[in-house]
């Protein structure tokens, strides 16, 4: 059964209040990011609003310190103190009072810092009334903005900064308030690691949540543990026996203990850094490479009949499937949509243009569109086709750790690629080398590592195993 058919069948069994909502809802972590940005904008607007009020009572020249406008000094300091006090955080969203306290604390620290700079510069131009109106007005607007943010927060996230789903798989348990509950076991769903369509369906169910609690039967725990470790959400298994399966901590659900299996590889700041790098570099690359892309598209169309782009289902972040874009390098009538047959050096399916663009890795460039869509990242584990083989075994059969590598978005390039692990996987060892590199990348991610891999990729664009 295809993943789409499973999702359709499972959706028909969802409770009415969840039907059409949970499977397709916007991830709460993305909503939080929007709220953080909105909170930041409102705080900056409050600072500007206070300064605007001061301009009504004092001329601009009386709102200067050391030759700089008061607002020019205050804004950078305010941003610095807001970051230090974690004004934009889950705790501040959950508690309006805490958000107000942290914002006003950052504002007071900014006012004191401006006074200190004014004293050190020996400036006598700054009006006391103007100073008081600026920061007093900013404080007033900050309080109003927090009430507005709290109203929006309750509308968007129902008053909870994090969302939790409880999946029942043969172990009934009590439903806690504010937690969505789905009986996947009744629908015949569990993470059978030999059935990618099952993995894909479950991954889409949990994708929009921050925390997943599994109440599963004993013999399914190992599979659920492996499944959760390959995701970008916090995963826990209800604990009723002394079986840990590589747990990272012990948690609690109601009055019961849980074993925490995963917390996701990146925190919010790291995710924003990585996504910002992806969008910036991918946009520049598409703009710069546009003439080359048009030339290659024309050459492909002239060389052989068929579409310019080749689309294939690959396994992406959280083991959710997506369609990857590549320049078509093979004859359209001999295409291998599942990827069961790896390309060989003298592959008769590859066209004349295909040989050139595969040798130079130009066929991978349309994946920049996948990066902008959010399906992929510039750097990450390479996404594989569902039918990919290591020797005679499918990838997830050849390596027990295969599903773990998908905790981050797949990449156009990755650590395995710059270390030379490319081309066909003729034996299981070829896959194991790549999986080890991918798991090393997940464990040691940093923005600096991404930049290093991107630079090293330039040296291996033309590679002996690229054919």
Write out pLDDT tens, residues 409-421. 999 999 999 988 8
Task: Tell me what the pLDDT averaged over the chain comes to.
Answer: 84
Mean pLDDT value of segment 129-140: 92
Q: Is residue 315 part of a domain?
A: yes
36 plus 106 within the same structural domain: yes
Contacts of 385 (CB under 8 A, 6+ apart): 312, 313, 314, 338, 339, 340
Strand partners, 238: 258
Span of 152-166, 244-258, 438-452 with lowest mean pLDDT: 244-258
Question: Which pLDDT score, from 0 to 100, does residue 140 have?
Answer: 96
Span of 230-244, 336-350, 422-436 with lowest mean pLDDT: 336-350
Stronger pLDDT, 10 or 323, i.e. the higher one: 323
For 290, the enclosing helix (H) or strand (E) is helix 268-303
Query: What confidence category does residue 154 fall into, taking pLDDT thresholds of 50, 70 and 90?
Result: confident
Q: At residue 159, does pLDDT exceed 50?
A: yes
Question: Which pLDDT score, from 0 to 100, does residue 21 have?
Answer: 39
Nearest-angstrom CA–CA distance, 20 and 18: 6
92 plus 123 within the same structural domain: yes
Nearest-angstrom CA–CA distance, 351 and 249: 53
User: Coil, strand or helix: which one is 73?
Assistant: helix
**Which residue range is the domain that position 232 belongs to?**
163-262
Q: Is residue 21 part of a domain?
A: no
Question: Which pLDDT score, from 0 to 100, does residue 4 have?
Answer: 53
CA distances from 331 to 336, 353, 355, 366 (A): 10, 11, 12, 18
For 108, the enclosing helix (H) or strand (E) is helix 96-121
DSSP code per residue over 148-213: HHHHHHHHHHTT-SS-EEEEEEB---PPPTT-EEEETTTTT----TT-HHHHHHHHHHHTT-SEEE
Mean pLDDT value of segment 266-285: 90
393 plus 326 within the same structural domain: yes
Span of 13-22, 103-112, 372-381 with lowest mean pLDDT: 13-22
Question: Which pLDDT score, from 0 to 100, does residue 68 have?
Answer: 82
Q: Is residue 437 part of a domain?
A: yes
CA distances from 189 to 9, 87, 163, 183, 264 (A): 11, 41, 21, 9, 23
284 plus 230 within the same structural domain: no
104 plus 141 within the same structural domain: yes
196 plus 273 within the same structural domain: no
Number of domains the chain is built from: 3
Span of 5-14, 129-138, 229-238 with lowest mean pLDDT: 5-14
* Total residue count of the chain as it appears in this document: 467
Nearest-angstrom CA–CA distance, 167 and 184: 6
Mean pLDDT value of segment 320-328: 93
User: Coil, strand or helix: which one is 311?
Assistant: strand
Question: Which pLDDT score, from 0 to 100, does residue 205 have?
Answer: 87
For 125, counting Cβ atoms within 10 Å of its Cβ (0-12 exposed, 13-18 middle, 19+ buried), the class is: middle
407 plus 272 within the same structural domain: yes
Strand partners, 322: 314
326 plus 413 within the same structural domain: yes
199 plus 130 within the same structural domain: no
For 106, the enclosing helix (H) or strand (E) is helix 96-121
DSSP code per residue over 435-448: HHHHHHHHHT--HH
Highest mean pLDDT among 247-251, 288-292, 346-350, 402-406: 288-292
Q: Is residue 13 part of a domain?
A: no
First to last CA, the chain: 33
Q: Is residue 452 part of a domain?
A: yes
For 453, counting Cβ atoms within 10 Å of its Cβ (0-12 exposed, 13-18 middle, 19+ buried), the class is: buried
Q: At residue 76, does pLDDT exceed 80?
A: yes
For 26, which DSSP code? P
Question: Which pLDDT score, from 0 to 100, does residue 15 have?
Answer: 46
Query: What confidence category does residue 241 fall into, taking pLDDT thresholds of 50, 70 and 90?
Result: very low
Question: Which pLDDT score, from 0 to 100, does residue 16 have?
Answer: 46
Nearest-angstrom CA–CA distance, 127 and 133: 10
Query: What confidence category does residue 437 fall into, taking pLDDT thresholds of 50, 70 and 90?
Result: very high
Question: Which pLDDT score, from 0 to 100, does residue 364 have?
Answer: 93
Q: Is residue 305 part of a domain?
A: yes
Question: Which pLDDT score, from 0 to 100, does residue 401 have?
Answer: 85
Nearest-angstrom CA–CA distance, 326 and 377: 15
Cβ atoms 391, 427 nearer than 8 A = yes
409 plus 278 within the same structural domain: yes
Q: Is residue 45 part of a domain?
A: yes
Nearest-angstrom CA–CA distance, 366 and 326: 5
Nearest-angstrom CA–CA distance, 103 and 94: 14
Question: Which pLDDT score, from 0 to 100, does residue 142 have?
Answer: 95
Sign of CA dihedral 375, 381, 383, 387: negative
84 plus 197 within the same structural domain: no
227 plus 169 within the same structural domain: yes
Q: At residue 343, does pLDDT exceed 60?
A: no
Cβ atoms 329, 209 nearer than 8 A = no
- Which is it for strands 256-262 and 309-315: parallel, antiparallel or unpaired? unpaired
Pick the closest to residue 325 from 383, 284, 381 (CA basis).
383
Looking at 223, 242, 262, the residue that finishes a domain is: 262
Residue 242, Cβ neighbours under 10 Å: how many? 6
Looking at 157, 175, 204, the residue that finishes a domain is: 157
Looking at 262, 296, 326, the residue that finishes a domain is: 262
Q: Is residue 467 part of a domain?
A: no
Q: Is 308 left (phi over 0), alpha (psi -120 to 50) or beta?
A: alpha
């Amino acid at each position: 059964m295809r993943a789409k058919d499973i999702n359709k069948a499972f959706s028909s069994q969802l409770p009415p209040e969840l039907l059409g909502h949970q499977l397709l809802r916007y991830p709460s972590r993305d909503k939080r990011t929007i709220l953080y940005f909105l909170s930041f904008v409102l705080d900056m607007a409050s600072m500007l609003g206070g300064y605007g009020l001061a301009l009504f009572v004092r001329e601009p020249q009386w709102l200067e310190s050391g030759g700089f406008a008061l607002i020019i000094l205050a804004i950078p300091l305010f941003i610095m103190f807001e970051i230090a006090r974690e004004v934009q955080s889950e705790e501040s969203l959950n508690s309006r009072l805490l958000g107000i306290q942290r914002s006003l604390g950052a504002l007071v620290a900014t006012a004191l810092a401006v006074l200190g700079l004014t004293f050190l510069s020996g400036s006598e131009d700054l009006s006391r009334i103007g100073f008081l109106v600026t920061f007093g007005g900013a404080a007033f607007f900050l309080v109003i903005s927090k009430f507005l943010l709290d109203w929006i927060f309750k509308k968007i996230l129902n008053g909870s900064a994090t969302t939790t789903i409880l999946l029942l798989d043969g172990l009934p348990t009590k439903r806690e308030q504010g937690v969505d509950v789905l009986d996947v076991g009744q629908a015949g769903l569990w993470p059978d690691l030999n059935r990618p369509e099952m993995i894909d369906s479950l991954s889409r169910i949990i994708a929009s949540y921050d925390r997943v609690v599994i109440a599963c039967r004993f013999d399914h725990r190992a599979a659920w543990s492996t499944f959760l470790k390959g995701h970008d959400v916090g995963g826990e298994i209800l604990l009723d026996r002394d079986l840990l399966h590589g747990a990272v901590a012990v948690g609690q659900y109601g009055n019961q203990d849980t074993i925490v299996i995963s917390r996701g590889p990146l925190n919010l700041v790291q995710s924003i850094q990585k996504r910002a790098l992806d969008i910036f570099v991918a946009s520049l690359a598409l703009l710069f490479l546009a003439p080359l892309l048009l030339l290659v598209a024309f050459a492909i169309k002239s060389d052989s009949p068929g579409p310019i782009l080749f689309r294939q289902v690959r396994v992406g972040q959280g083991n959710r499937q997506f369609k990857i874009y590549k320049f078509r390098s093979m004859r359209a009538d001999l295409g291998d949509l599942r990827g069961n047959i790896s390309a060989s050096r003298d592959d008769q399916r590859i066209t004349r243009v295909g040989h050139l663009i595969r040798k130079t890795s130009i066929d991978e460039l349309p994946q920049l569109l996948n990066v902008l869509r959010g399906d992929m990242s510039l750097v990450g584990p390479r996404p594989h086709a569902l039918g990919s083989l290591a020797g005679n075994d499918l990838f997830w059969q050849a390596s027990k750790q295969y599903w773990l590598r998908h905790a981050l978005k797949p990449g156009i390039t990755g650590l395995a690629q710059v270390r030379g692990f490319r081309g066909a996987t003729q034996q299981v060892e070829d896959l194991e080398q790549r999986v080890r590199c991918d798991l090393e990348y997940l464990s040691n991610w940093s923005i600096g590592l991404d930049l290093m891999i991107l630079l090293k990729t330039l040296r291996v664009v033309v590679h002996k195993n690229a054919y």
